[in-house]
Every structure is written in structure tokens, then in C-alpha cells.
Amino acid sequence: MQHTSDILEIISTRKETGQPFALATVVRTVAATAAKAGAKAVILPDGTISEGWIGGGCARAAVIKAAKDALADGRARLISVQPPDALSEQGIEAGSEQGGVRFAKNMCPSQGTMDIFVEPVLPRPQVVICGASPVAVAIADLARRSGFAVTACAPAPDQTVFAEVDRRIEGYALPVDEAGGRYVVVSTQGRGDEAALLAALAVEADYVAFVGSRRKAEVLKKTLAERGVAPERLAKLKAPAGLDLGAITPDEIAISILAEIVATRRGKNSRGSPPQS
């Protein structure tokens, strides 16, 4: 069995490299159980327990399912593994949830109870900015201060307008798929609009938006459709970008766009779009 310090070091390494995983921690035990409070395990997206130990097979299936669910929706779970008699006395069915606790049946001879907290550890959500317009610069600054990892995509000569970002890509060659949430904003202001949109719509992202007027966006959509971009991809494009805050200045437009990104990330529906030129 690995020591807690070893597990914490592994967790730190995985977080630094941006690898998604779930951390399961035994928070309470009642009667005889193999694992004790404080035991931890690192669970990968495919359900593999890569490090640590939280007991035998009694809790394994319930915890792995909770880990997969947590990684899918980004929400932590509390699992209570109890013997059938204990669940029956409380009028609780295995697999049900009450008060934020998911209950599972312990069929092991120990007949003990274990409560396990399962939390997802995901890479920081990423805002990808294509272009180097004043709005793009404002979004980069605001997103970084709001806890997002920021990737600036622009031709090499334009990269100097971004003071601090987490990653720079010269041009618009975006990685096709990456772990964690990804929110792409195209703010090229007439300089490489088509190339940036082609790149943005070719990758997997939770949000793709274009900073520009609705009329300009429709013209670009038609051009992209003629170039073979699938209708379902074009349907994902949010244009104009941002919530309808009446934004005028680059900073105000950046606020409206980041607000829409946050609403998308938290599962809220945006209402309308701001006028943009």
C-alpha cells in the first residue's frame, strides 16, 4: 500500500501535466472494513485505479461508477457503501441518492460501512483566442484573471500584443481534441477570419464564437459551407459572440463574451447577443 505522501505527489504530478482523474477518499468507516478513513485512490477516466487503495471489491464498482460520472459532469460525489440490512432499516434502496449521498450495497463478509468522497480533478478550462484584435487582447487578460488557461493563436508578428498567456500557437493550427473544457473565440477583425474559423470549427470545443456582426458572420458561414464545412459544425458557431450587455468598448465586449463562456460552462442559457461591428 502506498503512503499518503506518495499519493499526494502523484496527484500533484498529474495535475501539472493536465491529466484528468478522479480522487477517491475514504472519509468514514463503521465496523470492520478493509480500508480506513483517509485512504485514497486515483481513478482514471477509463475506470482504472492507477494508484492508491480504498479496500477490496466491496466498494470498487460503486466508486468507479461515481468516478466516471464525476469526470463526465465535473461534480463531486459522496458514496455510502452499507450492508443490505443497514440500507433496509433506513428504507433506502441501493443505487438511490438522498441528500446528495449515493448509496451502494456492501456484499462483503465484513458487513461494514464506508463513506467515500469522489472528486473530479480536471485540467483548467481553456479559453482559446484566435486573432490579435483589441477584443482578443481584452479577453485574454480577463480570462486569465478569471482562472482560465489562455491560449493565444495568431501569426508570429501579432503575438507581441498578448502580455501573459499560458500557451502560444503561431497561426491557427489548433489541437483537434484536448482534455478539459475548451472555449474558442475568433476575434481576427478582418485579418484571417476564414482561416481562423476553419480551424475553430474543425476541433472539439464546448463553445465557438465569432466577434463580428451577424451579417458578416452569415457571409462567412456561406463561404465556409461552400468550402465543405459540415452544417452541424456551422450550427455550433455563436455569432455575434457574447451576452447582450449593450457592450461597446473592447473591454465591455470581452466581459460579455467571458460571461457567456461562464454561462455555457455552468449550464446556463444565454439570452441574446450584443451588437458588434
Whether the full predicted model's pTM is greater than 0.85, yes or no, is no
pLDDT at 6: 78
Distance, in Å, from the CA atom of 103 to the CA atom of 82, rounded to the nearest integer, reads 7
Contacts of 187 (CB under 8 A, 6+ apart): 129, 130, 131, 133, 135, 136, 139, 211, 241
Task: Check if the beta carbon of residue 138 is closer than 8 Å to that of residue 253.
Answer: yes
Task: Check if the beta carbon of residue 73 is closer than 8 Å to that of residue 32.
Answer: no
Q: What is the mean pLDDT of each run of 10 residues along the chain (277 residues)?
A: 68 79 92 79 90 78 91 90 87 85 80 90 92 96 95 95 94 85 94 94 95 94 94 94 94 97 79 39
What are 99's three cell numbers? 441528500
Residue type, 60: R
Percentages (nearest 5) of helix, strand, coil residues in the chain: 35, 25, 40
Distance, in Å, from the CA atom of 224 to the CA atom of 213, rounded to the nearest integer, reads 16
Q: Compute the half-sphere exposure of residue 174: CA atoms within 13 Å on the CB side of its CA.
A: 32
Task: Check if the beta carbon of residue 32 is closer than 8 Å to that of residue 58.
Answer: no
Contacts of 215 (CB under 8 A, 6+ apart): none
Phi then psi for 275, rounded to 5 degrees? Answer: -70, 130
Strands (E), the chain: 21-30, 40-43, 49-52, 77-82, 97-98, 101-105, 113-121, 126-130, 149-154, 167-170, 182-186, 207-210, 237-238
CA 37 to chain centre: 29
Task: Check if the beta carbon of residue 120 is closer than 8 Å to that of residue 129.
Answer: no
Residue (of 72, 118, 80, 85) closest to 99 by Cα position: 80
Please state the length of the chain.
277
Burial of 155 (0-12, 13-18, 19+ CB in 10 A): middle
Domains of the chain: 4-121 (no CATH), 126-265 (3.40.50.720)
